[in-house]
Amino acid sequence: MTRVLSVASECVPFVKTGGLADVAGALPGALASAAVEMRSLLPFYPAVREATGEVPSVFQIEDLFGGAAAIRRGQMGAAAIYFLDAPHLFDRAGNIYLGPDGKDWPDNPVRFAALSRAAALIALHGIEGWRPQALHLHDWQAGLTPVYLREFRLAERIKTLITIHNIAFQGLAPAHLLSALDLPAQGFTRDGFEYWGQISALKAGIVYADKISTVSPTYAEELMTPQFGMGLEGVLRDRAGDLSGILNGIDLEVWAPDYKTRRGKEKHTKALRAEFGLPEGDGPLCVVISRLTGQKGLDLLIEALPALLENGGQLALLGSGDAAMEAQFRALAERHPAVAVHIGYDEALSHRMIAGGEAILVPSRFEPCGLTQLYGLHYGTLPLVSLTGGLADTVIPATAATLAAGVATGIQFNPVDTQSLVNAIHRLCRLYRQPDIWDKMLRNAMAHPVGWDSSARAYADLFQTITGPV
């Protein structure tokens, strides 16, 4: 068995703000059958403490950036999970990244440098008689780990893989924090972790990790372009030989439809209309489950919505984010009986929406992988998506050729602008009015593989590549 420590800032079922948490929670179980023993490290936020209760301390850290800390041991299914209990850094109510003002906690660079440092200390000393051969680092919050491993002279023995879930978040910190974060001054260069005069935790991971992955093959290619690389495209091009794209999967035990046909789905659609107070219509009941941000392209949906309503469709939306966008969707719901909006997030409601929706809309400007379209496929809730990232890799678009071959699973549109989205909505509604075609697409979608099997094997191969034969 290859021993791997996964280091993440969030992880289902303990704490979640996005898809990273789903991946961090699913991978240990998925990898177990691929001869990888993966344990995890997660901050001990108040929400985690509430979920776990008191769990035993198994590792002490006398001083971790301004205070004592302990690592506690819990269980996640059959796998061990460790919690970094540093009250001076993580014992805060509310969002794990944002303060009450809705802005990043000012000390986020220190908080997540502590997570990286704790991971390196586990690699240095071992924990409970267990020492990882490799560390799996998720996003910028774990990006400084390879730097600390170098400081501990462990880089040759303990290998690292960093996974980029979203390059838009880079963990930038002012240069004057170099000493406070215990970072070597010689690393603060263009070839190290310096980024336009600041420290970049994500760049540190990209530069110093043994391998780099991201969450879809198309996004891996996109990251090496100025349009998508967010200023790090050159660094990634330099490491193109070490970069791979591995699609995310979904937990098929958590996401398990109780039907296999359109007829079986109908009761969920009826129940969802009733729950949201939506009328019957001649078009599809479309759902959106998303952060309300420009990245997600939901401003385009606001502009394109008349096309759906004119075709007799309805929209049920669950999400939160940009305050102006929230207000716009609320206003639309007040004006249009066929639009219903729930601002916030509710995991149980998201399951009911995926089951009851007939189509799911994901008009993102960029999307590293995306999970909601995978849930949609698995539930026969046909995805309408932009042609980018993981959306391009997971949805087979309804074209003349794919419909003739009987393989289409959804709708794609490109370029990502309002008119293209309008055209895609009209196309969706035309297909909806052709029951034989729609039923075939629904069956195709539900048969499409969206689990972790192939991706887990790809991760296992990566770990074996960097650690050598077990």
Distances (CA, A) of 428 to 229, 284, 383: 31, 8, 10
Coil, helix or strand at residue 413: strand
- At 253, give phi and psi (nearest 5°): -85, -35
Q: How far apart are the C-alpha atoms of 440 and 352, rounded to whole Å?
A: 23
Residue type at 227 in one-letter notation: Q
Q: Any binding-site annotation on 267?
A: no
- At 318, give phi and psi (nearest 5°): -130, 120
Coil, helix or strand at residue 70: strand
The closest of 107, 110, 195, 96 to 144, measured between CA atoms, is: 110
Q: How far apart are the C-alpha atoms of 187 and 195, rounded to whole Å?
A: 11
- At 264, give phi and psi (nearest 5°): -65, -30
The closest of 247, 158, 245 to 209, measured between CA atoms, is: 158
Q: What is the DSSP string of 274-339?
A: HHHTPPP-SS-EEEEEEEESTTTTHHHHHHHHHHHHHTT-EEEEEEEE-HHHHHHHHHHHHH-TTE
The closest of 194, 411, 389, 419 to 304, measured between CA atoms, is: 419
CB 103 within 8 A of CB 97: no
Helix (H) or strand (E) holding 215: none
- At 306, give phi and psi (nearest 5°): -55, -35
Omega before residue 13 within 30° of 0, cis: yes
Handedness of CA 131, 133, 136, 137 (dihedral sign): positive
Q: Which residues are annotated as a binding site for ADP-alpha-D-glucose?
A: 16
Q: Which residues are annotated as a binding site?
A: 16
